Amino acid sequence: MAGKWDRSMGVLSHLRIIEIGSSAATAYCARLFADFGADVQKVEPPAGDPIRSSAPLTPRGQSAWFAFLNFNKSSIIIDPAGPDAIAKLTSLIEDCDILVDGRKVDPADCPPIDVVTIRQRRPELIHLEAIWFGEGPYEQFAATDSTVRALAGLIKLVGSLEGPPLHAPDFQSGILAGLWGFIASAASAVARLHGEPGRSWSVSIFESNLTPTEYLMFDAFARGDVMGRIGVNRFWPNFPVGIYETKKGWLGVSTVTPKQWWEFCEMLGLSELRDHLDLTSNEGRLQHMDQIDRQFIPRLKTRTAQEWFAEGLKRKLPVVPVPKVPELLQDAEKMASGAIVRVRLGEEEGKTVGSMQRLTLTPPLQGGDVPAVGGQQPFAGMRANEPSIPLTSPGGTDACRLPLQGIRVVDFSMGWAGPLCTRTLADLGADVIKIEAIQYPDWWRGVDRPPRYLEDRMYERAPCFCIMNRNKRGMTLDLKQPEGLGIAKRLLAQADIAVGNYSVDVLPKLGLGYDVLRALNPRLVMMSMSAFGSYSVHRDCRAYGSTLEQGSGLPGVVGGAGGLPVMSHIAFGDPVGGLNGCAAVLVALIHARKTGEGQFIDLAQVECMMPFLAPWITVHSIDGMPPRRYGNRHPQHVPHGCFRCAGEDSWIIVAATDAGMWQRLATIIGKPDWAKDPSLNSPEARRAIEDDIERSIEAWTLARDPDQAMLELQSVRVAAGVARLPIDLLKDPHLSSREFLQEVNRAFVGLHPQPSMPIRENATPYPIRTAAPTLGQHNAEILSGLLGLSETEIEQLATDHIIGTSMLSEAELPHPEHTAN
């Protein structure tokens, strides 16, 4: 536990963090610093952080959510009524490195302080504040996790065709925003090691939750209004991507390519489906979903999930058992990796979700203690020494200098997760060199190669590729040829970071394993972003973002009691893995900048999904009871649900988070007697008439279109959010007012919108500097400018197809395709 940990191992043990206010986003951000040894001091009022009362609760009434967000922190009580409250808090902040500020979400009785003046006195101070929305039409909106996710397009696509849309419990938006906050703060810590001053950031919780929606938003931009809710565990544009009952247990299935469809049907002995020409494509299968499922469902029930999984491994299929919470807690592999760790909550001891940032040389803390109000950890105040290698200033500070300027990244990743990680590094100023091959480019450019596709260079028009690879330089290299491999090694010898999301054995087999690269460049940080990790028994399982959600256990806590596990997204694991990967490499980069020592990061993307079900893991580990599933209701807030509005498939999320909000809600829906009844001020009392309350809310919302209902409810400070489709976000008034969508011009595509990062230093976001590279666009620039190759040498590489700018046809391919997660 915490007292036994050697703090000298803590990468961030030289940092002191002060956390003020109350929000899940800032709490999780600070928790990530604590994972790596930072001294985190959480400032609380005498009554404690309001999250301490958040359900679900342990048998002794302690919040499992608070426990997950706060173990290994210390607590300092500051009474705002005390005569020295402001002076005491100001002194704490002036002695810290990073101020993590949740007051704009919930001030939690924090004394008023002047952060601007403090930063003038201490320009090295890093300040991060969380906001629900930021300046704009939604700025004053009352919000909850679910209302924000509804507005971010993360709810309307989930659930039965008839509705209502289903949404996961309230433990998601703060994790996504906390990751973004940590990325901003850690990038600033990297810059500070080079003599730069601290930076002041804001992180929008709403915009952070657009990260999983980006792909769908821009697919909608390219294809039009083609997305809608198509059923539980069904998601456009791929089918089948869902969860099926077996003889024992549930099986997650993702068949995307024609080959996977053929193999899956073959595995089930369904030759008629296998050979049906109309079902070769996803488009065809989407038109026959019910017909397909009628044949799949009885066949899958003939064997267990584990048996199907074993068979799927042989066929290289992305199928995986969907674990329940008790099974996760019995998983020795997850305990050994630190995905599940021990946690002590006063007299109770249980388990929770550990750090996902699996640094192998300087690992995170494995479990710890949750502080009582005012409780200090044994290691609090014991700062490690400052960096052992003296670092020089870059020669004065530049207001336009980005925090990761001067960092070089070699990017071997494809698809969504890895490219999102490296795009974020690029957005923050790193020089990211994306490596593709003309034989097998990034598969998000397209995997089929009909002649017309190549002739028209359709692979340059893929919207998802364009949004994930902006601000990068692109080059092509055939890594299976000695010349290509040699060039890659020369690039890596000069790099700070290398990222790959191939299957675990691909880069080592090519001669680019960490043992080789460490000898070339001891300061290199190398991250493998595989689906299950290098040492997992599932290491050879093929995976998409859907597979990661299925294998994490999250679907088992979504949906109603007794129902099937419910997925929340077509590929939830991809963006979550990408953000966690970015956080991990920044921690390792801080260590490398302090010590000159690089390391290997073995990121298991499936584990990155587990924080979303952390409270259920903790409660079950202590009380042993099956986790309760609430559907669209909530363990704490009553009422809380998704209600139909006027118009076709129109819905709104409404929640009452306290007695005052309940009274205002009851009044506006025409139930003044409820508002005046003091016996209904507690959520427990309202739970007894929850059906009646929900019927009354829906009678009111049915008379209004969703935006009208939202504005009326928000006018009296009731939390409400329209369930948007991804395409709606392209014209969202709040995003427009904040210039979140930036217009970028690119060859073959023209002007198209790009999402900004949800973190910003000023009123406007960082501008997007360059569009995504065309295939091999920067070959000559990199080979000549960085490596000093002559024009003749570069021409020979092109002649030998080591490099190039056009995708090869199937007939021109000399060897099998690499396999990427």
DSSP conformation letters of 423-481: HHHHHTT-EEEEEE-SSS--GGG-S---HHHHHTTGGG--HHHHHHSTT-EEEE--TTS
Closest CA to 554 of 504, 605, 601: 605
Q: pLDDT tens digits, residue range 4-46?
A: 445 556 999 999 999 999 999 999 999 999 999 999 999 999 9
Report how far residue 564's alpha carbon sits from residue 557's, in angstroms, rounded to the nearest whole number.
10
Question: Residue 4: its pLDDT value, please?
Answer: 46
Q: pLDDT tens digits, residue range 562-582?
A: 899 999 999 999 999 999 999
Q: What angle do CA 777, 780, 783 make, to 5 degrees?
A: 120
Q: pLDDT tens digits, residue range 148-196?
A: 999 999 999 999 999 999 988 899 999 999 999 999 999 999 999 999 9
C-alpha 812: how far from chain center: 38
Closest CA to 130 of 764, 759, 767, 766: 759
DSSP E strand stretches across 454-586: 473-476, 497-500, 525-530
Q: What angle do CA 340, 344, 347 make, to 5 degrees?
A: 145
C-alpha 415: how far from chain center: 15
For residue 693, what pLDDT band results from cuts at 50, 70 and 90?
very high
Q: Compute the average pLDDT of residues 407-424.
A: 97
For residue 388, what pLDDT band results from cuts at 50, 70 and 90?
very low
Question: Residue 470: its pLDDT value, please?
Answer: 97
The CA–CA distances, whole Å, from 554 to 157, 464, 546, 568 equal 17, 26, 11, 9
**Residue 392 pLDDT more than 60?**
no
Report how far residue 494's alpha carbon sits from residue 365's, in angstroms, rounded to the nearest whole number.
31
Question: Residue 54: its pLDDT value, please?
Answer: 96
**Residue 220 pLDDT more than 50?**
yes
**Residue 197 pLDDT more than 60?**
yes
Report how far residue 73's alpha carbon sits from residue 53's, in angstroms, rounded to the nearest whole number.
18
pTM of the model: 0.96
Residue 398: phi and psi, rounded to 5, are -120, 120
**Residue 424 pLDDT more than 90?**
yes
Q: Compute the average pLDDT of residues 101-109.
A: 98
Q: What angle do CA 405, 411, 416 make, to 5 degrees?
A: 105
Sorted by sequence, the CB contacts under 8 Å of residue 738 that are 6+ apart come out as 134, 135, 136, 204, 207, 765
Q: Compute the average pLDDT of residues 106-116.
A: 96
Q: pLDDT tens digits, residue range 260-269?
A: 999 999 999 9
Report how far residue 188's alpha carbon sits from residue 589's, in angstroms, rounded to the nearest whole number.
12
For residue 631, what pLDDT band results from cuts at 50, 70 and 90?
very high
**Residue 815 pLDDT more than 60?**
no
CB burial of 719-738 (b: ≥16 within 10 Å; e: otherwise) equals bbbbbbbbbbbeebebbeeb
Q: pLDDT tens digits, residue range 243-298?
A: 999 999 999 999 999 999 999 999 999 999 999 999 999 999 999 999 999 999 99
Within 13 Å, how many C-alpha atoms sit on residue 350's CB side? 29
What share of the chain has pLDDT > 70, as a percent? 95
Total residue count of the chain as it appears in this document: 821
Closest CA to 359 of 704, 37, 817: 37
Edge-to-edge strand ranges of the sheet holding 368-369? 348-353, 340-345, 368-369
Closest CA to 683 of 142, 54, 143: 54
Mean residue pLDDT across the chain: 93
Sorted by sequence, the CB contacts under 8 Å of residue 736 that are 6+ apart come out as none
As to burial, measured by CB atoms within 10 angstroms (0-12 exposed, 13-18 middle, 19+ buried), residue 495 is buried
Question: Residue 400: its pLDDT value, please?
Answer: 78
Question: Residue 535: its pLDDT value, please?
Answer: 87
Q: Compute the average pLDDT of residues 296-322.
A: 96
Question: Residue 562: its pLDDT value, please?
Answer: 87
Q: 743 has which bridge partners? A: 753
**Residue 378 pLDDT more than 90?**
no
Q: Compute the average pLDDT of residues 743-759.
A: 95
* Eight-state DSSP code of residue 677: -
Question: Residue 399: its pLDDT value, please?
Answer: 61
Q: Among all chains, which residue has been given the structure tokens 């109000």?
A: 373
Report how far residue 326's alpha carbon sits from residue 310's, in angstroms, rounded to the nearest whole number.
22
For residue 393, what pLDDT band results from cuts at 50, 70 and 90?
very low
- Cβ(153)–Cβ(651) below 8 Å: no
Say what the alpha-carbon torsion angle 208, 527, 441, 815 is, to the nearest 10 degrees. Answer: -150
**215: its two tokens:** 């792909």
C-beta atoms surrounding 311 within 10 Å: 15
Question: Residue 6: its pLDDT value, please?
Answer: 57
Question: Residue 707: its pLDDT value, please?
Answer: 98
**801: its two tokens:** 């197809």
Sorted by sequence, the CB contacts under 8 Å of residue 533 that are 6+ apart come out as 337, 358, 504, 539, 602, 603, 604, 606, 607
**747: its two tokens:** 């060859």
Taking the CA atoms of the chain, what radius of gyration do you get in angstroms? 26
Question: Residue 695: its pLDDT value, please?
Answer: 98
> Beta strand pairing status for 98-102 and 126-131?
parallel
Q: What angle do CA 385, 388, 392 make, to 5 degrees?
A: 115
Report how far residue 309's alpha carbon sits from residue 668's, in angstroms, rounded to the nearest whole number.
52
Report how far residue 323's alpha carbon sits from residue 330's, in angstroms, rounded to the nearest whole number.
10
| Amino acid (1-letter code) at residue 150 | A
Closest CA to 371 of 63, 82, 9: 63
Say what the alpha-carbon torsion angle 715, 717, 719, 720 is, to the nearest 10 degrees. Answer: 0
Question: Residue 382: its pLDDT value, please?
Answer: 67
C-alpha 802: how far from chain center: 35
Q: Compute the average pLDDT of residues 350-374.
A: 96
**Residue 353 pLDDT more than 70?**
yes
Q: pLDDT tens digits, residue range 711-740?
A: 999 999 999 999 999 999 999 999 999 999
Q: pLDDT tens digits, residue range 641-688?
A: 999 999 999 999 999 999 999 999 999 999 999 999 999 999 999 999
Question: Residue 240: its pLDDT value, please?
Answer: 96
**Residue 1 pLDDT more than 50?**
no
Which region, left, alpha or beta, applies to residue 301 given φ > 0 means left and ψ of -120 to 50 means alpha? alpha
**367: its two tokens:** 């479990």
Instruction: Find the helix or strand (DSSP H, E) in which 551 lies.
Output: helix 545-552
Report how far residue 118's alpha carbon sits from residue 322's, in angstroms, rounded to the nearest whole number.
50
